[in-house]
Structure 1
Amino acid sequence: MDELGNRLGEQLEVRSAMEKVQQRRGMSAGDRIAVRYAPIVSLSDGTLYGYEAIPFDAEANASWDSSLFYAESEAEGNLYDNDRRFRELAIRGVPAGPRAVKLFLPVPARIVYDPRLYPGSTLGRIEAAGLRPDHVVLLLSDESDGHPGTLHAAIRHYRTQGFRIAFSGLKTGRTALERMVDLKPDYVRIGTEWFPRTLRDPAGESLLQAISALARKEKIVLLADGLEREEQIRPLMTYGVGYGEGLWLGVPSETPRSVDPSVTDRIRQEMRRRFRGAAGALLELTEPAVTFPSSTPVTEIARFFEIHREAPGFVILKDGKPVGMLMKEKLHQTLARQFGLPLYGNRPVSKIMDAQPLIVDESTPVEQLSQTAMAREPDKLYDAVIVTRKGEVSGIVSIRALLEWVTTMRMSNAQWANPLTGLPGNEPIRRELSRRLDEGRPFSVLYADLDYFKWYNDQYGFHRGDDVIRYTSESLQAAVRKYSPDDSFVGHIGGDDFIVIFDYGNPVRIGEEMLAEFERGISSFLDRTHGPVRDRSGTPVEGASLSLSLAVLSCQVTEGWTPERLAEYSALLKKAAKTRLGSALEWETLEEFHAFAERKGLTVR
């Protein structure tokens, strides 16, 4: 029923488009065709990745929805001619060069059934414009003719010519996901219906996380469309969506434009914030790079590969700057094709190199690089990464070295993780506190301790006690996701003690929300016949029950403080909170340590 409804809806859209054609006066669709270019930007480093060619109605002076454009053309009986004209205009307007970006070109899938279509017609136009097939991504966006095999036929037709394929407008339904998995396009463009609607939208985040995980599993690159506000980039970057398009990133223009520097800076700033303090120096993984000018003949590169069999790939330079990468495997694939050597042997390496390699500065955290590298197209996943220092090549990083580092780090983190909650343990906690203190920026730290947990363990048994520990962990994490999702850290010190570290804001309110989150469900772990609650000495405590005591430290000034001093003073605050019945919170705003200690009468060690 879902698929039938979708088809009926598509047919109604086509009928509506045809009715508009009947009402329209003036030029035909073919006479009105123009092109606008919408920038597609990398959400890893803010650089320009490509452009989407958008049909533009010259008569109405407005952008043309591609499905409407093709529907009008088909209603006029000019689908083939108008599609040809649009492709020619779009390809002709894209700048060529050694760092040519990708062109996402809308194509009606049903055009493959036109008898006038023959393989190689688009290839010829691309080569005449100085581009290569891998520079062009065909954006298939319809199957409105009702034939379920239309997309299959279009994909077969264009993939045999070396084009990459993208799907547009993935719907949030089972049928659309099954089609994506079945057809396996190289790219899938998702709209705002996949985005979280607000900064605190757990359901929206889960939906985005699910499609991102499915895309990774199927080796499909996601492209987010409809980015109109800066805050939309955060969840997309968190879940590894590689590229974006929308008015915030750049408005469609008559000629292709570069990305606004303020947009690039903002994306890089957000990426640095996400990986601030991440472990691992890229220099430790960097190997020396062999470089060649972009004008070097392919045969010379091939001879060098034969002599230096251990080299995985070479960096290609132009004017001393890296503009491409050629991996040994890709070279062999190219030359092994029919007529490969005669076609490319004497041509410059710039004709077959990857003109969009992954290039990072040596200051990039390894964790950030691993996420960026894994968001690449499937055929680039194992390509080496070019590392630069002040724009000059300083070396390359192999994916093998990168994966080994990630594996080692995960094993190290697992060693310190609490086996009951899975949260980071004492060593990661110490590193995180030290990082925050070293940065010198304001932050807040919250220490949480369960009250009467020993009594609960004795009364109900350690199995149910473990359940309470897990519930406390989940409550703290849920509150962090809801009220302080950015750059937060939740750790398990041990036993019934937890720690939460987050950016400075309104820490008292966040602490109160954590108590509320805890109180919402803790009563479900208690029976009515449990008898009196007793303290550690066995003395009954009237009116007491399982509760949570919080000590919140607002570190406005970090000078003089250490992780140990923070822990010592938080113990005093927790002790004060525990003197009150029920869940309670004590907080303090910290200043420079020695002045604070003198004012509080603390012993300075």
Structure 2
Amino acid sequence: MESGRIEAFKIDAQSLQTILDERLVEPLFQPICDVARQTILGFEALSRGPEGSELESPNALFSAAQRFNRLSELELLCREKAIERFAELNLSGKLFLNVSPNTLLDPNHPRGETLQLIQQYGLQANQVVIEVTEQDKVDDGFLLLKTIGHYRKLGFNIAIDDLGAGYSGLKQWSELQPDFVKIDRYFIDHCDQSLVKREFLKSIIELAKATRTAVIAEGIERAEELALITQLGITNAQGFLIARPSAVPLNAYPNTLKESSQAQGNVMHRGLVKTIGELTHVTPAVLNGVLCQDVHRVFEKDKQLMSLAVVDEQQMPMGLLHRDQLTEVFAAPYGHALYAKKPLASLMDKQPLIVDEQSQLDEVSQLITEQDFDIRRHIVVTQGGKYLGLVPLRAILKHITEEKIRNAQHANPLTMLPGNVAINEAIEQRLLNKQDFTLAYIDLNHFKQFNDLYGYASGDGVIKLLAEVISECCIGFSGFVGHIGGDDFMVVFDGDDAEPLCREIINEFELKSKSYFTHEHVKAGGYWATNREGQQQFVPLLTLSIGLVSPHVDSCHNSHQVAALATDAKKEAKRYRNSYLFVANKRRPTVAIVS
């Protein structure tokens, strides 16, 4: 048994030596995406050993290197191959290089190799991010800090990898003051289903804001995880859902993510509201790398200027600098001397709120409230991923308030749901955008007899109950709920979930509405009442008629045509004595016959 272990040991040593001698390392690249700007932030370089060998996997390869004290040589080889291939493929964004702290501290590890390599292959230092993994225990923290400081002085960005998975965590964050922090995938995995993980992510976001650090969520494999981290305010993402590591990676923002973000953008009660682009002020931006003293002069020349966007050479937003941040620093003792010649990146907010010009105001308002932004600040607006201008938060909230007041004026006073004006606007918006949707016309059956027998208070109670049932059934689904008046409601569905939701509304209402009847009437399934002709007839318990129509957006030109289709569908549903959902095949308006 012992001899077997020695033999395997020798094979590993020889295999590793062959890999180092013949440079048999294959670099792969996994994209890191900025989902807010819909751009590629950069690529993490990953290394593999010879395909099919016992050292193909990175774990086996680096474990063997560490076992035989060849880690420094292997990391240098991987680094060179990654830089060479990154330049050869002309990949966009930054190159993220994994570096073990113990390698950095190895006295035999050659100095200046990384800078020499990037110069050799035509890269700039600010294109490269040195990722320091947190999983390795470091004995000499002071020396590591000094080494990282050396890299930073050369112009490299610094990142802490696998935050939360290792030894020093927050201490390392505090001391290294990284540009990026990558959250370990443990905290991302099914974070949408874990309150503890969600709270951890929130605390990381707050720390990142305070330290002006950009956060990257690693290991995203599910759309629900991406939706949650985006909602919380983490815009940089990496994982199999976005793209797997590849020798020749996709060098553009994935179309699948664009479609996903569009689907997530649909929200309940969305009416005809303005886009953020209509409020945007086209404000000049400054290039990343400009000195603080130069930016201070810009603010001094224009007293009305409160914020400046920071962009790269391709006009992609990198951050935001506020006048009061700079003023406060320069006003402090020795502040001017300390910061005048420093690049503005040392003071700017690296995680401002960045939205596309087509974003709806209510969606942006939700982002503002969820991320707890200072009301005095601005947000950055982009057009096709490039900087367009700034919008004061006050302007957004002012317009949102005005919109809410206008909707309240037209809301139904009994249910406070949007009324006819808002319903028509919601339909018109979808027709204008050529956005497919389904419209449900919901009507109470036998309501007049119930109202006459049980009184108006019970009648109002039943209408409010129906409003609550519809709203509760539609929580989390994209669409719009409106109250036409009386016992008539309309629901706009943007997804393909209209039929099951309508059936759920029927079931929930029939169950809950029984509480408004006496025990005898429930047991009998109805009650006797006098009709309009003065005759006694048996009236069933309250039921629902729902007409469902999917209008052809190219054939319907206004909300009245769509409403007419829904009304016809509802009339068909009313022909049935019990609750009924009628799904109409007719999608186009009736053409008027002119004689």
What TM-score comes out, normalization by structure 2 length?
0.69
Q: Is the 8 A contact 2:275 2:361 kept in 1?
A: yes
Q: Is the 8 A contact 1:39 1:259 kept in 2?
A: no
- Tell me: CA distance 1:115–1:263, structure 2 relative to 1, closer, same or farther (3 Å): same
Where structure 2 has 5 or more consecutive residues not aligned to the other structure, the ranges are 73-98, 209-214
- Select 2:102's aligned residue among 77, 84, 88: 84
Q: Partner of 1:62 in structure 2? A: 57
Q: Is the 8 A contact 1:98 1:323 kept in 2?
A: no
Q: Partner of 1:528 in structure 2? A: 519
Q: Is the 8 A contact 1:36 1:254 kept in 2?
A: yes
- Tell me: CA distance 1:578–1:162, structure 2 relative to 1, closer, same or farther (3 Å): same
* Cα offset, 1:38, TM superposition: 3.6
One-letter amino acid of the counterpart of residue 142, structure 1: A
* C-alpha separation in 2, matches of 1:209 and 1:27: 43
* Cα offset, 1:507, TM superposition: 5.7
Is structure 2 residue 289 aligned with structure 1 residue 262? Answer: no
- Tell me: CA distance 1:233–1:86, structure 2 relative to 1, closer, same or farther (3 Å): same
* Cα offset, 1:157, TM superposition: 4.6
Q: Is the 8 A contact 2:381 2:389 kept in 1?
A: yes
* C-alpha separation in 2, matches of 1:381 and 1:353: 17
- Tell me: CA distance 1:355–1:362, structure 2 relative to 1, closer, same or farther (3 Å): same
Q: Partner of 1:155 in structure 2? A: 170
SS of equivalent to 1:48: strand
Aligned counterparts, 1:273-292, within 5 A: 279-292=273-286
* C-alpha separation in 2, matches of 1:470 and 1:292: 54
Is structure 2 residue 133 aligned with structure 1 residue 106? Answer: yes
Q: Is the 8 A contact 1:99 1:356 kept in 2?
A: no
- Tell me: CA distance 1:213–1:424, structure 2 relative to 1, closer, same or farther (3 Å): farther
- Select 1:578's aligned residue among 568, 574, 577: 574
Aligned counterparts, 1:164-563, within 5 A: 167-169=183-185, 189-191=187-189, 193-195=190-192, 211=198, 215=202, 219=206, 225-228=218-221, 242-252=235-245, 258-263=251-256, 265-267=258-260, 269-270=262-263, 279-294=273-288, 296-316=290-310, 321=315, 323-324=317-318, 325-332=320-327, 341-342=336-337, 344-346=339-341, 349=344, 353=348, 360-370=355-365, 384-387=378-381, 394-418=388-412, 421=415, 423-460=417-454, 465=459, 467-477=461-471, 479-480=473-474, 485=477, 487-503=478-494, 511-512=502-503, 514-530=505-521, 532-534=527-529, 537=532, 540-542=536-538, 544-556=540-552, 559=555, 562-563=558-559
* Cα offset, 1:267, TM superposition: 4.6
* Cα offset, 1:448, TM superposition: 0.5
Determine which structure has more spread, i.e. the larger CA radius of gyration: 2
- Tell me: CA distance 1:590–1:220, structure 2 relative to 1, closer, same or farther (3 Å): farther
Q: Is the 8 A contact 2:36 2:354 kept in 1?
A: no
- Tell me: CA distance 1:475–1:331, structure 2 relative to 1, closer, same or farther (3 Å): same
Q: Partner of 2:89 in structure 1? A: none
One-letter amino acid of the counterpart of residue 177, structure 2: G
One-letter amino acid of the counterpart of residue 520, structure 2: T
- Tell me: CA distance 1:49–1:319, structure 2 relative to 1, closer, same or farther (3 Å): closer
Q: Is the 8 A contact 1:553 1:570 kept in 2?
A: yes
- Tell me: CA distance 1:236–1:429, structure 2 relative to 1, closer, same or farther (3 Å): farther
- Tell me: CA distance 1:574–1:337, structure 2 relative to 1, closer, same or farther (3 Å): same
* Cα offset, 1:395, TM superposition: 3.1
Identity, % of aligned positions: 25
One-letter amino acid of the counterpart of residue 558, structure 2: T
One-letter amino acid of the counterpart of residue 35, structure 2: L
* Cα offset, 1:579, TM superposition: 3.9
Aligned counterparts, 1:17-36, within 5 A: 26-27=12-13
What TM-score comes out, normalization by structure 1 length?
0.68
- Tell me: CA distance 1:303–1:526, structure 2 relative to 1, closer, same or farther (3 Å): same
* Cα offset, 1:519, TM superposition: 3.7
Q: Is the 8 A contact 2:185 2:220 kept in 1?
A: no
* Cα offset, 1:340, TM superposition: 5.6
One-letter amino acid of the counterpart of residue 34, structure 2: S
Q: Is the 8 A contact 1:533 1:545 kept in 2?
A: no
* Cα offset, 1:211, TM superposition: 3.6
**1:446-499 alpha-carbon deviations (Å, 9 max, x no partner):** 1101122344445455665555434433443455469xx3x4222222332211
- Tell me: CA distance 1:396–1:432, structure 2 relative to 1, closer, same or farther (3 Å): same
* Cα offset, 1:129, TM superposition: 5.2
Where structure 1 has 5 or more consecutive residues not aligned to the other structure, the ranges are 1-19, 144-149, 171-188, 196-203
One-letter amino acid of the counterpart of residue 405, structure 1: H
* Cα offset, 1:251, TM superposition: 2.0
Q: Partner of 1:40 in structure 2? A: 32
* C-alpha separation in 2, matches of 1:389 and 1:165: 27
- Tell me: CA distance 1:283–1:587, structure 2 relative to 1, closer, same or farther (3 Å): closer
- Select 1:141's aligned residue among 136, 160, 164: 164
- Tell me: CA distance 1:217–1:549, structure 2 relative to 1, closer, same or farther (3 Å): farther
* C-alpha separation in 2, matches of 1:245 and 1:129: 27
**1:491-525 alpha-carbon deviations (Å, 9 max, x no partner):** 22233221111247586666445434544544454
* C-alpha separation in 2, matches of 1:105 and 1:380: 32
* Cα offset, 1:546, TM superposition: 0.9
Is structure 2 residue 589 aligned with structure 1 residue 593? Answer: yes
**1:327-351 alpha-carbon deviations (Å, 9 max, x no partner):** 2234346657887644553455567
Q: Partner of 2:212 in structure 1? A: none
**1:528-554 alpha-carbon deviations (Å, 9 max, x no partner):** 224715377475442611100112223
